[in-house]
Amino acid sequence: MAASRRTIVAGLCCVMSVGASSGMRAARHFATPEAKAQGLRWRARRRGMSFGSMMLATQTAGPLASVIQQECDIVVPGIEMKWGETEKRRGKPDYARADQIVDFAHRSGIEVRGHAGFWYRNIPGWSRPLLQEPGADALIVARVGDIVRHFRGKVAEWDVVNEAVQPGDGLPWAMRRAPFGKAIDPGWIADCFHAARDADPKTLLAYNDYGLENAVPDDESRRRATLGLLEELKRRNAPVQVMGLQTHIGVGQRFDADVYRRFLADVAAMGMKLRITEFDINDRRAPTDPAARDQAVADRALQLLEVAFAEPAMLGMMTWGLSDADSQFQGQPAMAREDGQPQRPLPFDSQLRRKPLWEAIARAYDGAPKR
């Protein structure tokens, strides 16, 4: 997900020293027996925040559904609302699987994030040639209006547009070349936000992106690009209310707390809220031993979350799944560990047992100022 302002300062040493001490505290952290028994949603609510997870329509029944009900007060469909899944035939949208998740959430007293109005990587086959032609932006704007209108009053917050910047493409405003194949004015993004607001006047509207966390040149470029886009959208009076921070991070990455803190404050200074939307931690650089690996993941999480949750504009966080068994990293050769062990990037293991990462998230909420 997107990017923004970070002054590439600190270096590797900053990551490991802060992480080690934080993680040790997380590992020892248990409050009262009552607090330990409660889910993360309880921890979050005590601070005026929320905790949630991605889920799939196939997960609305069974053991994982019960864990979601215990831990989450907000969920987001993984694929079921994306354009390529909902409108495989032009003019014949099918929201049945997305409706299934929304219905489960409402029965469970859980809110829903919509994801996503438009994402360039998941579009219907029939739309691809049309998006290379004049008027392509109008097709996207219409799609955003259609799906937000279908879920009017049922979705608390929408990722209206997902991953629109790509500094490496060299286009004005650091716009991503896909799916248009050419430079295009960011006015289409503003139009998507206006369409979403017309379709549902009460839902919160978010721009969502990745690559905003680390103290490396690529992330610094993405931070600058993201802030520039948000400023341009605000100039065009687009009703952008939330910056979604995907936060797909990894063990051993360069992190500078001051750089990240300034970026969050820059977004908040525009009058916007923030939410961590797709949190998971790649553990390819962590030890083979599961206990040591879980602790490294917990350390990395607490290092970032303590900074994020200190920002008053932060609404809370969502993980991209709850159980390691369902992680997006499983079965992806590009994400495979050299030792062949499965990744352990999420708060629960494959048997749905809480891990040190769960404890680190709980501690971060416990230490956050009340909203």
Instruction: Give the C-alpha separation, 146 to 142, whole Å.
Output: 6
Residue 21 confidence (pLDDT) above 50 = no
**Whole-number pLDDT of residue 121:** 97
Of the candidates 11, 163, 175, 151, the one whose C-alpha atom is nearest the C-alpha of residue 77 is: 151
Ramachandran angles phi, psi of 319, nearest 5° = -95, 155
For 128-177, how does the pLDDT look when each residue is reduced to its tens digit (9 = 90+)?
Answer: 999 999 989 999 999 999 999 999 999 999 999 999 999 999 999 999 99
% residues pLDDT > 90 (the chain)? 88
Cα 250 → chain centroid: 15
Beta bridge partners of 279: 319
User: What is the value of pTM for the model shown?
Assistant: 0.91
For 41-50, how does the pLDDT look when each residue is reduced to its tens digit (9 = 90+)?
Answer: 999 999 999 9
For 309-364, how does the pLDDT look when each residue is reduced to its tens digit (9 = 90+)?
Answer: 999 999 999 999 999 999 999 988 999 999 999 999 999 999 999 999 999 999 99
Q: How sure is the predictor about 37, in pLDDT bands with cuts at 50, 70 and 90?
A: confident
- In order of 71, 116, 219, 274, 291, the CA distances from 264 in angstroms are 26, 22, 14, 8, 32
Residue 17 confidence (pLDDT) above 50 = no
Ramachandran angles phi, psi of 266, nearest 5° = -65, -40
With the C-alpha atoms ordered 3, 338, 326, 93, is the resulting torsion angle positive or negative? positive
Domain boundaries, the chain: 12-367
**Whole-number pLDDT of residue 210:** 98
Q: Of all helices (H) and strands (E), which one includes residue 249?
A: strand 248-250
**Whole-number pLDDT of residue 29:** 47
Residue 241 confidence (pLDDT) above 70 = yes
- CB distance 241 to 291 below 8 Å: no
For 79-133, how does the pLDDT look when each residue is reduced to its tens digit (9 = 90+)?
Answer: 999 999 999 999 999 999 999 999 999 999 999 999 999 999 999 999 999 999 9
Q: Of all helices (H) and strands (E), which one includes residue 366?
A: helix 356-367
Residue 6 confidence (pLDDT) above 60 = no
- CB distance 50 to 315 below 8 Å: yes
Q: Which fold has domain 12-367?
A: TIM Barrel (3.20.20)
